[in-house]
Amino acid sequence: MTHILVTGGAGYIGSHACKVLHQAGYVPVTYDNLSTGWAEAVKFGPFEQGELSDRTRLDQVFARYKPAAVMHFASLSQVGEAMREPGLYWRNNVVGSLTLIEAAVAAKCLDFVFSSTCATYGDQDGVVLDENSTQIPLNAYGASKLAIENILRDFGVSHGLRSVIFRYFNVAGADPEAQIGEFHQPETHLIPLMLEAIDGKRPALTVFGTDYDTPDGTCIRDYVHVMDLVRAHVLGLKWLQEGKPSRVFNLGTGSGFSVREVIEHSRSVTNRAVPFVEGPRRAGDAVRLVSGSVRAISELGWQPERSTLDTMIADAWRWYQNGGYAR
């Protein structure tokens, strides 16, 4: 059996990756400190609790399972927090990832799939971003991810580490079978916040900024279904296993939706009103972020099959109504 070490495998995206890895015949080994993940989400392989910064613990896990590759999701990812506490992001994301990379190299585990972000591009309004777009991150979250990309390239030169890096924006939806889904404490993502408002779990959704230079004044983002996203990660793993070189892929639909459009689609899908209030802009938020996926489609054979807004909301709503992990 081929083991894959999945950092952050108890989190939202990582747990879905574990399910798809299991379906593809791999054994996903979740490595997670449960600071933002859920033990209940670990359903598809072994669980090892630990910190990215704990080299001794990482060495133990590599020795026990001898994974063929690493799939690295574990990170802090809240833009507002990154603006307030940049040191936290540099310490956790960069130093933790460096420790993981060094442990992988020491264990001769030289295939590495990394969950990066299109936030490394910053705010480049009016364009569809591709892998060659200039990287000018606006906050410590995007900057920390860019630093990790550079670390991976350096270790590729020095130690033969091969990596597939995925850059993407807003991930949405849930496992269509509702075994796992999106649940954070505190919740910060638009669609689950909206579902909580619809369900009366919070008084209203706050729309941060209504005076942006967009058709309706609210930010525009590219949304990708979580199942489409993690299937791309498995394709990236196979790319490396076939001996192909390190590569960067953007994952997106090439079009974006404003916050107001997401609200309207949610009202239509759930057949319920969405209570919301207007608030000020958040520091670090870009106006419009849309990513193309020409390279992923042409080279990996990736297709975003479930990444329509209505499907993402419907799957998230089904998961939400199923009860989540700890509501």
- CA dist 99 and 101 (Å) reads 5
E strand or H helix at 246: none
Residue type, 25: G
Cβ atoms of 174 and 181 within 8 Å: the answer is: yes
CA distances from 71 to 165, 229, 232 (A): 10, 13, 12
- Asked if omega into 46 is within 30° of 0 (cis), the reply is no
Instruction: Please say whether the dihedral angle defined by the alpha carbons of residues 222, 301, 238 and 248, taken in this order, is positive or negative.
Output: negative
CA distances from 198 to 174, 268, 272, 323 (A): 18, 12, 7, 15
Pick the closest to residue 318 from 200, 173, 189 (CA basis): 173
Q: 144 by DSSP, 3-state: which?
A: helix
For 259, list phi and psi in degrees, rounded to 5: -60, -40
Which residue shows structure tokens 């060094």? Answer: 102
Helix, strand, coil share (%) of the chain residues, nearest 5: 40, 15, 40
Tokens of 324: 């989540």
DSSP assignments along 34-102, one per residue: -SSS-GGG--SS-EEE--TT-HHHHHHHHHHH--SEEEE------HHHHHH-HHHHIIIIIIHHHHHHH
Which one is catalytic: 141, 168, 223, 320? 141
- 31 is an active site residue: no
Q: Report, as residue numbers or ranges, the catalytic residues.
A: 141
